[in-house]
A and B are shown apart, each in its own frame.
Chain A
Amino acid sequence: MSDKPLLPEQEQPESCALSRRDFLKLSAATAGTAALLGSLPTFGQLLARGESPSGNSPLSKPERQIHTVCLQCNTGCAIKVKIWEGVASKIEGNPYSPWTLHPHLPYTTPIAETGSVEGALCPKGQAGLQTAYDPYRIVSVLKRRPGTKRGEGQWVTISFEQALDEIVNGGDLFGEGPVEGFKDVYALRDAKVAKAMADFVKRIVDEKDAEKKRALVEEFKTTFAADLDKLIDPDHPDLGPKNNQFAFIWGRLKNGRGDLVQRFVKGGLGSINANGHTTVCQGSLYFAGKAMSEQWDGSKFSGGQKFYWQADLKSSRFVIFVGANMFEANYGPPLRVTPLTEGAVDRGLRYAVVDPRFSKVASKAWKWLPIKPGEDSALGLGMMRWMFENDRINKRFLSAANKAAANAIGETSWTDSVWLVHIKNGKPGKLVRGSELGLVTRQTETDKDGKEVTVYVTEDGTKFKFDPFVAMVEGVPTPVDPNSTELPVYGDLFVDTTLQNAKGETITVKSGLQIIRESAFEKTIEEYAAIADIKPSDIIELAREFTSYGTQAAIDIHRGASQHTNGFYTSFIFFTLNALIGNFDHKGGMSKPTTYDRLGSRAKGPFELAKMNNGANVPFGLDILRTTISYEKSTIFNGYPAKRPWFPLATDIYQEDLPSIGDAYPYPVKIAMFYMSAINYALPAAHKMTEVLADPKKLPLIITSDILVGETSMYADYIFPDLSYLERWEFHGTHPSVTYKVESVRNPAISLPGWPMVKVYGQEIPLSFEALVLGIAERLDLPGFGPNGLGEGVPFIYPEDFYLRMVANLAYGEKEDGSDGVPEADDREVEIFLKARAHLPKQVFDPERWKAIVGDEKLWRQTIYVMNRGGRWQGEGKDYKGNMLANAYAKQINLYQEKTATTINSMTGEPFAGYPRYLPPHLSSIGEPIEDGDEYPFTLITYKEITMTKARTITNYWLLSVMPENSLLMNAVDAQRLGLRNGDLVRVSSASNPRGVWDLQNGSELAMVGKLKVTQAIRPGVVAFGLGWGHWASGSRDIVIDGRTIKGDVRRQAGFHANAAMRTDPVLQNVTLTDLAGGSAVFYSTKVKVEKA
């Protein structure tokens, strides 16, 4: 029962002093019917008198609006929160941002003029109030009640200070024996020793000879004899210090807080384990992008960006979406919806959708291709084959072998497609170097500083700083410097020949493009069509259309293509198709993300935050995901297959965190901290994560930072309450499809009445993730925090000490002289800034303190200018230079990847392929096909409804009112065959979860039973469910706090969640299937049984 009367206002005594709200209500009543429309003066008349027709829409005044950023999903739309007496009352799109208005308002539009200008926002964005004002939000630190098991839902409230003391000092915290605290794990505290150890470990791992490696380990042990107790295992120093036994694992983390996490985990606690969640989203897409963007630095390929490209939809004329659900998810709404709907209706844009489900975006498409799940690459290679056969490739673009060549033909980016590759035993391997063919000779010379350097010189005296690559130019091998701006090389596209090397041996070489062509020609179009179960004519039609719009066509892919065991190669294939038409950096082609620098690095100020970190610790060693050191180089190498896979081409392998901790491979973890993570809900086969979470022997201490008792938090030992996205700071960044240079500033729009304030370093700040970090830092005296955290006398105590400086950096711009800074806020803008924040408590907003942080009056006014607009946005029209993108990628695109081709798969011992190729989906970790038999006839896929963002929107009742529960979608043909009817309750099970249940490891199970929705809008043989329902925490079930039961809300239990049906790897058993190249967790290929429940 409610502790609060149902309608408390009724019982309020008349004598109560009038609140402002009551007063206003009274005045409104007195004004009475005079406010009826007919008697109102016209807007124009009012305006002439300098009045606004007040009372109609007071929230449209700029003083009642704070511009910030949504986090209801990761699109990160800029928003403005309308505030009524301190309460967030309505949320709108921020019209300054290209997310919600197309084109967006000019940046210099005075804030006073935009109160009534609103951008568009999706339903989740609108419902964000219910995330902030969720009655199940926690406001005290919760500790697992000693004597109860993890997941039992028994909590005690505990003071912030005591909770910090317990997690820092450890002890017998739960009556289960001693638990190590942060003070124990924070073993190596001397940054100098850490640096010396890190350098030595690099020598050890780089040593290829096994015996010498062992000798180096012994030498290490002698050298660091005094500090060996600080290592996880002195016999394996490459595992790093004990500090690595703290793992920080995040779900949704954005910059700002991301920078804080790096500072805390790495620079502070000295742990290498700051692990993200990328592979649950679209890891293989990101890491295909990374491999394609590695640049030659003169000695190696490095610096590849973890990113990907998307289409510049607003100028595209034809787009193919593969596994991209643009109207419901995928950073589509509202950002990418308008260019599509208006494009299709008003601008003649054609688009096709490749998806087994007839999604909302498919419903408006020119063509829907209901492909067999996981076989997107067959479509891609079929298109590629047709393009080669019919000569529909951009030869001009592809022939440019380096920067000089690209620039001379008006391109900004180039590929390596004409570079020569060694073919050994029929397999492509390393790139050919000039010296091998005698094109250059190695010489030493003295540079201007008197230093001896190696150069490579051709017969005609051309010098290269490294052994150049080689392209065939009209049949003549020619050296290539990829980054040369002076020596353009245009190579022959298709080369398949033998050459004499300098030693007189015959070598076989092919151009990268030849290798790609042969890969595409491995099967006929009919064979590809059969694999993907589409028509050959579909492949040809898409290929013809794709090659009919010059560079204003694009293939835009998302997680549907990426979350398979072949995800890396599927992504690689589609990006290669884009390269074949040469649409990179072109208006309407492929675009990359571009942001302003919040860290002050480019301008070297005003606050160079990366450098404002004296005495930062130096983390080193192997991370628990095995991404920082390659298997072969590590001292724990023990043949193939490895005990668990290693990921030399990817990072942030979310599905590997807990199974690795459970297996103590490569080493045990003592403390894990989860941030905004629902790891055992969001992942495929997520129930396996719960097995580790529930077991204190495998993971002795779990701390979470959360706004409620969520699916992961319920297994925590301590939950620290966090602020919602409307109460905190972050920098949301951008997406590849945004052609403008941008950065958005999430900043406190509200503070909940009575929100607890806690003391860190003697000052009061809101109980929050920052408070948790600062509280630990204070107790351990971590570098980078406290009174001298940002340098001598420069404190890091308040969150804004860190974040406001980032805003100031955005405001200042990226030129050292400040010449590209934003305008200064005038007095009216300052007034609006202050009035809009008048409701915030001093611990959150203190103008004097804030101004002191920024310092300079001019910079303070510039900072206000950015805050007033919720970020910095490049102006409309500034994103194009002629027909090219102004914020261009402008670098090399690797279509043949030497680095990938020379990287070994730790499970098979074979190298990865360095070129786009067909791989079947749904393979085990040792590369074997998984056959689950006829008992499991359906392929299970997932998708998003626009009303749900995985774990975190079930709390939004407005969204539930639109769609209270999800269903299992099944084609009518299949339903009829099984005798199932619309609305039947059905159970989903699989070979690795034959009972079809979530074992919550607390004595209860949750059946994977949901309602069937019989539809024509899905491919037969495929069943699908929308993610986000089927919760067992997040306020959906009873919990006990301090002995009192808090009833769960049944509305939050609605629907079902079938991720636990997803296939576990048959070799590893405790983790989902994984793409070992790109790291993706597999969502879309499990075979399941559907039966009446």
Chain B
Amino acid sequence: MTEQEKLTPQSTASEGVSRREFLGALAVAGAVAAFEQLAANPQAVLAAYEEQIVQGTLAQSSADLKALDVLERMRIELLRALQKPVGERRWVMVIDLRKCIGCHACTIGCVAENKLPPGVVYRPVIEEEFGTYPNVARRFIPRPCMQCENPPCVPVCPVRATYTNAEGIVEMDYERCIGCRYCLTACPYSARVSDFGFTYTEEIPVIQGLLGTQTADDYERAPNFEYGKEYARQGRNSPVGNARKCHFCQHRILEGVLPACVTTCIGRATFFGDANDPDSLVAELIASPNVLRLREELGTEPRVYYLK
């Protein structure tokens, strides 16, 4: 039996490897062994981090996290951030344009996660070409909601259906939204879209011998879990008729899962985390000399940073 197998949550305190031993492994053992344990058991990791926070040894193990896939490092940092009171964490996203390969996995991953219908996209990727042959460049810019600190979309809402929550995410309240689209116009980043209630398969016939839409739209009508609720696409029910936007997948965040666009990023160009945690990857990244934000001149103070 390996070390990891012993590290079940039940066993951390009483049997097998204790929390303290686990911390010991983090501090003194070779990087690989420690990381295997880290990755093996997030709850043990979380417990270990609690203790590290108490002991003030956090920075030390943060350095070790660098041997992990950044997705794992960020996930562990997310678990750490979730320990803090809501108001003390500040979610930011960092997009390294040098690593974005224009694959659109984030666009589709987001569509799949949030069950977005035709015409609704939270995170497009804009492709551009510059130069003259043979001196050519191509650039790919993912454009999620900027989750502005001063969001122009919020004050224009006549029914207060959109607001900034305690963690800095600009949320939608689908139950309040009347679909007036003021917010769509107000957003300088075009990050909001209307849901007109379409599905991808609605025009396709059902006939003997073919699967047809009775089954084929099951995945489209399965619920999303936006804002921690269960929105199956049914009739004219929300979110049909509402304004829709990126929310950093907060339903996932709260479960300790990174946003869908982050985990599916095959170039590892998208980073997410708590900027208030000085040891977090995102905190490191936004201190880079090549950092920028879109349309700074508007004073919107985006929480999405780009590395050029």
Contact of A121 among B41, B201, B264 (CB under 8 A): B264
A118 to chain B, nearest CB (A): 4
When A57-B225, A958-B112 are in contact, do A1046 and B205 touch as well, CB less than 8 Å? yes
Q: B103 and A946: CB pair below 8 A? A: yes
Q: Does A116 contact B (CB under 8 A)?
A: yes
Q: Does B232 contact A (CB under 8 A)?
A: yes
B53 to chain A, nearest CB (A): 11
Contact with A along B82-112 (1 / 0, CB 8 A): 1111100000000010110111110111011
Q: Does A1017 contact B (CB under 8 A)?
A: yes
Q: A103 and B257: CB pair below 8 A? A: no
Q: B5 and A1019: CB pair below 8 A? A: no
Q: B254 and A56: CB pair below 8 A? A: yes
Most-contacted residue by chain A among B79, B86, B138, B269 (CB, 10 A): B138
Contact of B83 among A43, A364, A973 (CB under 8 A): A43
Contact of A90 among B99, B113, B208, B254 (CB under 8 A): B113
Q: B206 and A3: CB pair below 8 A? A: yes
A909-960 contacts to B, CB under 8 A, are: 946-947, 957-959
Contact of A55 among B222, B228, B236 (CB under 8 A): B228
Q: A140 and B204: CB pair below 8 A? A: no
Contact with B along A1029-1065 (1 / 0, CB 8 A): 0000000000001101011010000000000000000
When A7-B235, A37-B166, A60-B255 are in contact, do A25 and B216 touch as well, CB less than 8 Å? no
Q: Does A134 contact B (CB under 8 A)?
A: yes
Q: A342 and B86: CB pair below 8 A? A: no
Q: B108 and A958: CB pair below 8 A? A: yes
A355 to chain B, nearest CB (A): 12
Residue of B nearest to A957 (CB): B200
Residue of A nearest to B125 (CB): A962
Q: Does A337 contact B (CB under 8 A)?
A: yes
When A56-B254, A101-B69, A958-B112 are in contact, do A122 and B105 touch as well, CB less than 8 Å? yes
Which of A125-133, A578-586, A734-742 is the contact stretch? A125-133
Residue of B nearest to A121 (CB): B264
Q: Does A1079 contact B (CB under 8 A)?
A: no
Q: A1044 and B207: CB pair below 8 A? A: yes
Q: A24 and B230: CB pair below 8 A? A: yes
Q: Does A506 contact B (CB under 8 A)?
A: no
Contact of B104 among A6, A87, A877, A947 (CB under 8 A): A947
Residue of B nearest to A368 (CB): B134
A residues less than 8 Å from B211 (CB atoms): 133-139, 752
Q: B43 and A47: CB pair below 8 A? A: yes
Q: Does A299 contact B (CB under 8 A)?
A: no
Q: Does A606 contact B (CB under 8 A)?
A: no
Q: B41 and A113: CB pair below 8 A? A: yes
B residues less than 8 Å from A338 (CB atoms): 69, 266-268
Residue of B nearest to A45 (CB): B83
Q: B109 and A117: CB pair below 8 A? A: no
Most-contacted residue by chain A among B71, B103, B133, B203 (CB, 10 A): B103
Q: Does A85 contact B (CB under 8 A)?
A: yes
Q: Does A157 contact B (CB under 8 A)?
A: yes
B124 to chain A, nearest CB (A): 9
Contact of A84 among B5, B133, B206, B223 (CB under 8 A): B223
Q: B222 and A84: CB pair below 8 A? A: yes
In whole angstroms, what is the CA distance A767 to B83 when docked?
Answer: 50
Which of B32-40, B55-63, B149-157, B293-301 is the contact stretch? B32-40
Q: Does B277 contact A (CB under 8 A)?
A: no
A residues less than 8 Å from B2 (CB atoms): 106, 108, 823
Q: Does B279 contact A (CB under 8 A)?
A: no
Residue of B nearest to A28 (CB): B230
Contact with A along B219-235 (1 / 0, CB 8 A): 10111010111101011
Residue of B nearest to A118 (CB): B263
Q: B210 and A108: CB pair below 8 A? A: no
In whole angstroms, what is the CA distance A58 to B113 when docked?
Answer: 12
Q: A971 and B264: CB pair below 8 A? A: no
Q: Does B132 contact A (CB under 8 A)?
A: yes
B residues less than 8 Å from A1017 (CB atoms): 129, 133, 136, 138
Contact of B210 among A25, A139, A1019 (CB under 8 A): A139
In whole angstroms, what is the CA distance A658 to B241 when docked?
Answer: 53
Q: A342 and B268: CB pair below 8 A? A: yes
In whole angstroms, what is the CA distance A101 to B35 when docked?
Answer: 14
A1001-1033 contacts to B, CB under 8 A, are: 1015-1020
Q: Does B165 contact A (CB under 8 A)?
A: yes
Q: A57 and B254: CB pair below 8 A? A: yes
B residues less than 8 Å from A127 (CB atoms): 108, 112
Q: Which 4 A-B pairs have the closest CB atoms?
A: A43-B82, A334-B266, A135-B216, A363-B138
Binding site for A on B (CB under 8 A): 1-2, 4-5, 8, 32, 35-36, 39-43, 46, 50, 67-72, 75, 79, 82-86, 96, 98-99, 101-105, 107-109, 111-113, 118, 121, 129, 131-134, 136-140, 165-167, 169, 171, 197, 200-219, 221-223, 225, 227-230, 232, 234-236, 250-252, 254-258, 263-269
Pick 25 A–B contacts, CB within 8 A, sort by A. Answer: A7-B197, A37-B227, A44-B46, A113-B42, A116-B255, A120-B105, A120-B264, A126-B105, A126-B109, A127-B108, A129-B112, A134-B211, A138-B210, A139-B211, A328-B103, A337-B266, A341-B269, A358-B138, A368-B134, A752-B215, A754-B215, A958-B108, A1016-B136, A1017-B129, A1042-B209
